């Protein structure tokens, strides 16, 4: 591996990056609203996104740069169970959201909810339950933002950027993030919505070319799968077990499907997913998108197979620090197999791909802080303009925090926390999703179930020790208590959560413990745009973005 800068790649990446930056700032004038000073405008793009924009926005939001690096990296390192489960995961998620997300849209638009915690507050009348949901959202989102930076770092490292001193090494990342922070601050949700077009266009182009060209260059699919099977079924001398799984054996089945199902249930609990859904203009945009977003899942599935191509191509994954890093597999594969200018386009796609979700995530976390902590506990009489201001500052803070995290700490900490984040966020499912259909669950039961599941999930994840490195947080599967069946920790914690919630609800109801006041009405859950009492949410994500549908 050479350590010199590849100038052609660098120039292509810089050009695309500059173009995207200009777009990011111009986005504030895109479908501009009269005033940007509310959360609906800044934080939700004026809530006027239709099917087409939403497809790009959600695609850019859910299928992040980190996903594009991490999934093939997992395929490269350990194969199907840890990597390819992303395919059933992203199939299963859409029928699920088809069922419940339209209801969240309706109730949010009737009551002006900007965050999932807002809904919980209104449905259960409990500020503490709402706080639990908000804190979980912020905690789960922060490491996710940090990982977007890790994805960018892998690309910069492959391009040969990074000197010996700390500043030179991290300068590209600092610049990219400063620019991102600036246009998110000024344009809000409209910026990532607009950049998502570029990001997704580039990603489709790169994957399209990679999927057609690379198998040809590497001797065909037969050879690629053959090389992967050979590597993954080799016995690891440290553990006496195979390195990975090529096709999961019977013992791998439960891990595979629980990872897929647990991740699918968790995905739309993330605040950034909810933010993107609430920014749509009518109730059924998200359902229509449930039918067309699988295009991205197909992309992800093909992309996962690039991990196998990296095996066949024998890419060098030794990092600048001299240690092997599977996250470099895909950037190095592009670097090795593509001409410089096209590798540059691919790298730009990944780098820009990191900006879109990072922007939306920081906006979503900021909205949670503003609505459910600042307004609820610190300043009850905050005006919409004050909310927008606090949110903008919070989004800066969130990004800065993520940056400090990535630069200051070992990146395995980000990885561990992101793994935990998935387990944590799933524990808000009973309050949010079940709450969309019934208010039967008792608020204190929900809080207790959440608390126990959070602690249980964290301890279980800590106790997973990587057999090769002996480090904690070695993976996200564990044995079901008293059995040898391997399952996703998040889903076990979720099961425990549900059992506690149901049992305690029965107890509290029997003891006639007061439940919260439900401020929603059954008709709120099916309301649509244009109905009485349904307002565009001026407070969601952007401040400079599309006009509210009814301005």
Partner 1 sequence: MSRLSAVKPAYWIAGVLLAVTVLAPLIVSTYSKAEPRLWGFPFFYWYQLLWVVLSVFTVGIAYKLVMGEERKRRAAQGLGDPDKPAKGAQQ
Catalog residues that contact partner 1 under the rule CB under 8 A: 31, 48, 80, 84, 87-88, 90-92, 94-96, 98-99, 220-222, 224-225, 246-250, 252-253, 256-257, 260-261, 282-284, 287-288, 290-292, 294-295, 297-298, 301-302, 305, 526, 528-531, 546-547, 549-551
295 versus 459: smaller Cβ distance to partner 1? 295
Q: How far is the CB of 347 from partner 1 (least distance, A)?
A: 26
159 versus 330: smaller Cβ distance to partner 1? 330
Q: How far is the CB of 297 from partner 1 (least distance, A)?
A: 5
Taking a C-beta distance cutoff of 8 angstroms, is the pair 151, 68 a contact? yes
304 versus 330: smaller Cβ distance to partner 1? 304
DSSP-H helix ranges across 279-339: 285-292, 294-312, 329-337
Q: How far is the CB of 463 from partner 1 (least distance, A)?
A: 25
- Tokens linked to 544: 């400079």
The whole-angstrom separation of Cα 346 and Cα 5 is 16
Residues near 232 by beta carbon (within 8 Å), at least 6 away in sequence:
78, 79, 242, 243, 244, 245, 246
- Tokens linked to 41: 């405008």
SS3 call for 240: coil
Q: How far is the CB of 337 from partner 1 (least distance, A)?
A: 18
Q: How far is the CB of 50 from partner 1 (least distance, A)?
A: 8
135 versus 255: smaller Cβ distance to partner 1? 255
Per the DSSP assignment, residues forming a β-bridge with 391 are none
The whole-angstrom separation of Cα 374 and Cα 386 is 10
- Tokens linked to 477: 């599967």
Q: How far is the CB of 382 from partner 1 (least distance, A)?
A: 28
82 versus 370: smaller Cβ distance to partner 1? 82
How many CA atoms lie less than 13 Å away from 266 in the CB half-sphere?
29
Q: Which of 347, 368, 373, 361 is nearest to 402 (CA)?
A: 361
Taking a C-beta distance cutoff of 8 angstroms, is the pair 36, 543 a contact? yes
79 versus 162: smaller Cβ distance to partner 1? 79
95 versus 467: smaller Cβ distance to partner 1? 95
Q: How far is the CB of 532 from partner 1 (least distance, A)?
A: 9
CA diameter of the chain: 72
Taking a C-beta distance cutoff of 8 angstroms, is the pair 364, 137 a contact? yes
Determine the length of the chain.
551
């Amino acid at each position: 591996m050479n350590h010199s800068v590849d100038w052609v790649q660098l120039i292509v990446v810089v050009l695309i990056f500059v173009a995207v930056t200009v777009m990011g700032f111009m986005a504030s004038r895109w479908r501009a609203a009269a005033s940007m000073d509310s959360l609906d405008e800044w934080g939700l793009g004026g809530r006027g996104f239709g099917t087409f924009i939403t497809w790009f926005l959600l695609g850019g939001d859910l299928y992040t740069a980190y996903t594009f690096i991490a999934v093939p990296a997992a395929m490269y390192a350990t194969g199907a169970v840890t990597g390819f489960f992303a395919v059933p995961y992203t199939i299963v998620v859409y029928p699920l959201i088809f069922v419940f997300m339209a209801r969240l849209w309706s109730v949010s638009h009737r009551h002006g909810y900007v965050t999932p915690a807002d809904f919980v507050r209104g449905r259960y009348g409990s500020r503490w339950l709402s706080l639990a949901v908000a804190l979980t959202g912020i905690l789960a989102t922060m490491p996710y933002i940090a990982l977007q930076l890790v994805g960018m770092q892998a690309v910069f490292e492959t391009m040969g950027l990074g000197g010996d001193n700390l500043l030179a090494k991290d300068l590209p990342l600092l610049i990219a993030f400063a620019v991102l922070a600036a246009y998110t601050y000024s344009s809000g949700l409209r910026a990532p919505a607009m950049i998502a077009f570029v990001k997704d266009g580039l990603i489709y182009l790169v994957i399209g070319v990679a999927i057609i060209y690379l198998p040809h260059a590497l001797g065909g699919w037969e050879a690629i799968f053959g090389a992967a099977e050979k590597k993954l079924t080799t016995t690891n001398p440290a553990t006496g077990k195979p390195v990975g799984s090529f096709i999961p054996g019977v013992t791998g089945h439960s891990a595979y499907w629980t990872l897929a199902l647990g991740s699918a249930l968790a995905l739309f609990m993330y605040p950034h997913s909810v933010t993107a859904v609430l920014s749509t203009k009518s109730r059924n945009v998200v359902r229509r998108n449930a039918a067309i977003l699988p295009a991205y899942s197909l992309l992800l599935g093909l992309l996962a197979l690039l991990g196998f191509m990296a095996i066949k191509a024998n890419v060098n994954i030794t990092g600048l620090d001299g240690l092997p890093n599977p996250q470099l597999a895909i950037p190095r594969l592009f670097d090795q197999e593509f001409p410089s200018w096209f590798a540059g386009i691919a790298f730009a796609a990944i780098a820009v791909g990191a900006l879109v979700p990072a922007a939306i995530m920081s906006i979503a976390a900021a909205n949670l802080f503003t609505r459910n902590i600042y307004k609820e506990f610190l300043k009850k009489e905050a005006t919409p303009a004050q909310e927008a201001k606090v949110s903008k500052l919070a989004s800066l803070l969130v990004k800065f925090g993520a940056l400090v995290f990535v630069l200051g700490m070992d990146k395995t900490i980000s990885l561990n926390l992101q793994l935990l984040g998935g387990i944590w966020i799933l524990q808000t499912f009973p309050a949010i999703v079940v709450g969309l259909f019934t208010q039967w669950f008792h608020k204190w039961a929900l809080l207790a179930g959440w608390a126990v599941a959070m602690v249980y999930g964290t301890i279980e994840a800590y106790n997973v020790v990587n057999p090769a490195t002996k480090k904690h947080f070695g993976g996200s599967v564990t044995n079901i208590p008293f059995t040898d069946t391997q399952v996703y920790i998040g889903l076990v914690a979720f099961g425990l959560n549900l059992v506690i919630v149901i049992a305690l609800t029965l107890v509290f109801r029997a003891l006639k413990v007061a439940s919260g006041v439900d401020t929603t009405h059954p008709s709120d859950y099916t309301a649509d745009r244009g109905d009485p009492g349904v307002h565009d949410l001026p407070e969601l994500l952007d401040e400079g973005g599309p006009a509210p549908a009814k301005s």
